[in-house]
């Protein structure tokens, strides 16, 4: 039972354009959502998060949008840079829980 799904295994975007990564979830008890970025041979690093009481959180070039009614969140990267090429994981957690439920990941490639 995949509670967090990233339906696009890969995404290719031109440098300078907007990258949009999508994530769907099924568990309405999730109250916190996070995005992690992973480079090859490195561990995932935290990128940005959003609480279920918000619908948008912005940090520099990165913005996460949450649509609770659709159980959908997205990560926008504007403008996309070559260094953004990595695998992006969406994750979710329930209130007070330490366990994160991850999606399968989306490999983002930024083309010069």
Partner 1 sequence: KAGVTQTPRYLIKTRGQQVTLSCSPISGHRSVSWYQQTPGQGLQFLFEYFSETQRNKGNFPGRFSGRQFSNSRSEMNVSTLELGDSALYLCASSWGTGETGELFFGEGSRLTVL
Alpha carbon dihedral 111, 15, 35, 42, in 10-degree steps, equals: 50
- Rounded to whole angstroms, the Cα distance separating 76 from 60 reads 11
Q: At closest approach, how far in Å is the CB of 105 from partner 1?
A: 5
Chain positions 47 to 106 lying near partner 1, rule: CB under 8 A, are 49, 89, 91, 93, 96-105
Kindly tell me which of 78 and 97 has the beta carbon lying closer to partner 1. Answer: 97
Footprint on residues 6-45 left by partner 1 (CB under 8 A) = 6, 9, 32, 34, 36, 41-45
Instruction: For residue 98, give the 3-state DSSP assignment.
Output: coil
Site residue total, partner 1 (CB under 8 A):
26
Closer to partner 1 at the Cβ: 63 or 105? 105
Q: Which of 47, 81, 44, 49 is nearest to 65 (CA)?
A: 49
CB closer to partner 1, 15 vs 59: 59
Per DSSP, what are the bridge partners of residue 75?
21, 64
């Amino acid at each position: 039972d995949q509670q967090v799904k990233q339906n696009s295994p890969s995404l290719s975007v031109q440098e300078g354009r907007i990258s949009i990564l999508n994530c769907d979830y099924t568990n309405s008890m999730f109250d916190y959502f996070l995005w992690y970025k992973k480079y090859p041979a490195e561990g995932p690093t935290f990128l940005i998060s959003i609480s279920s009481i918000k619908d948008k959180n912005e940090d520099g070039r990165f913005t996460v949008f949450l649509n609770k009614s659709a159980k959908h969140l997205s990560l926008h990267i504007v403008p996309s840079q070559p260094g953004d090429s990595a695998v992006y994981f969406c994750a979710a957690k329930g209130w007070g829980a330490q366990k994160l439920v991850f999606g399968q990941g989306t490999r983002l490639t930024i083309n010069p």
